[in-house]
Structure 1
Amino acid sequence: MAFDLKKKVAVITGGASGIGLCYAKALLTNGVQAVTLADVNPEYGNKAIREIDNEFGINRAIFVQCDVRNIEDLERVFYKTVEKFKFVDILINNAGILNDAIWENQIAINVNGTVNGILVAMDKFFPKYKQSGEGVIVNIASITGIDFHPHVPIYSGTKSAVVGFTKSWGVREIYDQKKTRFVAVAPGVTLTPLILDIHGRNLGPVYEQYLREKLDNGMYPTQEPEHVANELVKVVKHAENGSVWVVEGGEPAFEYIPVDPRLQRKKNVLKIK
């Protein structure tokens, strides 16, 4: 049975602009009662609220300034959400940066920030404030998290971690106790500022050269953020716990199923002479 979005309340980190704002609008279009946009940038946040007010009517969204590296900030986001809307049912862990040149900060946001969101939602707020039998956490990964991308190896590692979180938390034993469904969306190259301004946000010339060659060869099919947002809505409604969904090149989402390493045990034995 599909998860019913009607009257649900969602928190979206990194939700004030770009693809995060597209997620918010797609959810509202498909029946969600309200969204909280959690973001570090108040200028973008206030602008986003004005957009939503104009498109969907007032009292459908709030902005809360938040640095996801700080778990207390995320707790405040959820407190403000239930204070305004009484409930919280969905978390979209979207906040992230792509910049290997400042890799410590990138790891703190992409990895620690995702864990912070998961723990606050699953352990502190969903048990009291979700409206139906389950809460839903969507972790935004990336195509780089399931395939190698040498131009941004550290970013790729952070998104691999997001996939690992989703698969590891998204098992029946934890679901039975926590009643929280975990899914991940792994977008391909999406035309947002994160991607359009990618040059120079790596570890140096060799990485930049690799990127330029792949872009020039058309190796990375592109898509619009609105397409990813519409596919995310389908994932929220229908995807099974622990599943990971790739959205690439403007095509429908498809499930990524990792190969069981045990099946390769006899095929790929290290042979030393």
Structure 2
Amino acid sequence: MQIREKTSLITGGANGIGFLYAHELLRHDAKCVYIMDLDNGDGKEAVQKLEAEFGKGRARFFPCDVTNSEHFTDNFQAVIDTCGQLDILINNAGIMDDSRWDFMIDLNFKALVRGSLLAMDHMGKHNGGNGGTIVNVSSIVGLTPTPFFSIYSGTKHAVVGFSLGLRGSYEKTGVRVLVMCPGITKTPLITECSDKTLEFVQKEDLINGLEKSILQAPEKVASAMIDLIEMGENGAVWVAECNEPPYAIETPHYSAHRKPI
């Protein structure tokens, strides 16, 4: 997909990597970016910054709690009523906070599922749409577990599994489903994570591990997102880590990992 003149919706796009996704989409000549996030002032500020750089009408903010199914559905429809045709959805909203695991599951997985299904209903050729692209944001810990954030890791594994399941509907819907898995990135999600673990987690090991890790710049992930949207095949799972170029991974059949008992 060429991003030029396409319309995009980003959940959790008011700040952090989500805001950088919006910035990069506009820098690559997207027609308009719609940001959906909490109504805490960040969304309006984000739109002001984007419009100051790219021009009036290039960004819109829709305050929304995506964990509220009715609120999310109503605001998604409001976006459609505004833009007419949505081409790209980036399900980015999420937290890493195992101490709030119930809410985290609602945000990281249930809201992502809801957003994907809403986009399928709108974009899908089976429903009279023109096709499009859904990018679901997972993590490298959605590919390999971590003992420090086992519940967060579980939500991100669920994102990968759900997305790979949807890819089989492409011939009917015309909607590509892609997955972005960022590595350890210099954002508050990582820099403020040590107080968000379960109480039995070895926090010293977590802190020591982070100190030894390469924290990539969030701009690297945003750049990889553009490449994924423009070049990724349906069902592609890409990793962006260690400030290196992104790469795709294969998901072999489980029997490939068979070992004798």
TM-score interval (norm. to shorter):
over 0.9
> Alpha-carbon deviation of 1:70?
2.1
Partner of 1:119: 117
With 132-141 and 99-108 compared, the bigger mean Cα shift is at 132-141
Asked whether the 8 Å contact 2:124–2:175 carries over to 1, the reply is: no
Q: What is the correspondence of 1:17-32 to structure 2 with a 5 Å cutoff?
A: 17-32=15-30
Structure 2 CA distance for aligned equivalents of residues 6 and 197 of structure 1: 36
| Residue 252, structure 1, aligned to residue 250, structure 2 | no
Runs of 4+ in 1 over 3 A off after TM superposition: 130-133
Q: Which secondary structure state, in structure 2, belongs to the residue aligned with residue 6 of structure 1?
A: coil
Which of 46, 64, 71 is residue 48 of structure 1 equivalent to?
A: 46
Which of 139, 156, 159 is residue 159 of structure 1 equivalent to?
A: 156
Q: Which secondary structure state, in structure 2, belongs to the residue aligned with residue 170 of structure 1?
A: helix
Structure 2 CA distance for aligned equivalents of residues 187 and 4 of structure 1: 22
Q: Which secondary structure state, in structure 2, belongs to the residue aligned with residue 49 of structure 1?
A: helix
Structure 2 CA distance for aligned equivalents of residues 53 and 131 of structure 1: 32
TM-score of the superposition, structure 2-length normalised?
0.94
| Residue 210, structure 1, aligned to residue 210, structure 2 | no
Structure 2 CA distance for aligned equivalents of residues 211 and 225 of structure 1: 21
Partner of 1:147: 144
Structure 1 residues without counterparts, runs of 5 or longer: none
- Deviations 1:167-196 (CA, angstroms, capped at 9, x unpaired): 11112xx11111110000000011111111
Asked whether the 8 Å contact 2:11–2:93 carries over to 1, the reply is: yes
With 199-208 and 140-149 compared, the bigger mean Cα shift is at 199-208
| Residue 222, structure 1, aligned to residue 220, structure 2 | no
Structure 2 CA distance for aligned equivalents of residues 27 and 103 of structure 1: 32
Evaluate the alpha carbon distance shift between residue 207 and residue 258 of structure 1 in structure 2; reply closer, same or farther with a 3 A threshold: farther
Asked whether the 8 Å contact 1:141–1:163 carries over to 2, the reply is: yes
Asked whether the 8 Å contact 2:3–2:28 carries over to 1, the reply is: yes
With 191-200 and 131-140 compared, the bigger mean Cα shift is at 131-140
Structure 1 CA distance for aligned equivalents of residues 134 and 106 of structure 2: 19
Q: Which secondary structure state, in structure 1, belongs to the residue aligned with residue 52 of structure 2?
A: helix
**What is the identity, as a one-letter code, of the residue corresponding to 1:269?**
P
Asked whether the 8 Å contact 1:49–1:62 carries over to 2, the reply is: yes
Structure 2 residues without counterparts, runs of 5 or longer: none
Structure 2 CA distance for aligned equivalents of residues 203 and 251 of structure 1: 31
Q: Which secondary structure state, in structure 2, belongs to the residue aligned with residue 240 of structure 1?
A: coil
| Residue 181, structure 1, aligned to residue 179, structure 2 | no
RMSD over aligned CA atoms reads 1.8
With 176-185 and 254-263 compared, the bigger mean Cα shift is at 254-263
**What is the identity, as a one-letter code, of the residue corresponding to 2:240?**
V
| Residue 242, structure 1, aligned to residue 242, structure 2 | no
**What is the identity, as a one-letter code, of the residue corresponding to 2:134?**
I
Q: Which secondary structure state, in structure 2, belongs to the residue aligned with residue 201 of structure 1?
A: coil
Asked whether the 8 Å contact 1:22–1:229 carries over to 2, the reply is: yes
Q: Which secondary structure state, in structure 2, belongs to the residue aligned with residue 190 of structure 1?
A: coil
Q: Which secondary structure state, in structure 1, belongs to the residue aligned with residue 202 of structure 2?
A: helix
Structure 1 CA distance for aligned equivalents of residues 90 and 12 of structure 2: 9
TM-score of the superposition, structure 1-length normalised?
0.90
Q: Which secondary structure state, in structure 1, belongs to the residue aligned with residue 46 of structure 2?
A: helix
Structure 2 CA distance for aligned equivalents of residues 88 and 181 of structure 1: 13
> Alpha-carbon deviation of 1:131?
11
- Deviations 1:196-234 (CA, angstroms, capped at 9, x unpaired): 111110002533123123123x1x321111110111001
Structure 2 CA distance for aligned equivalents of residues 228 and 264 of structure 1: 30
**What is the identity, as a one-letter code, of the residue corresponding to 2:105?**
I
Structure 2 CA distance for aligned equivalents of residues 38 and 246 of structure 1: 24
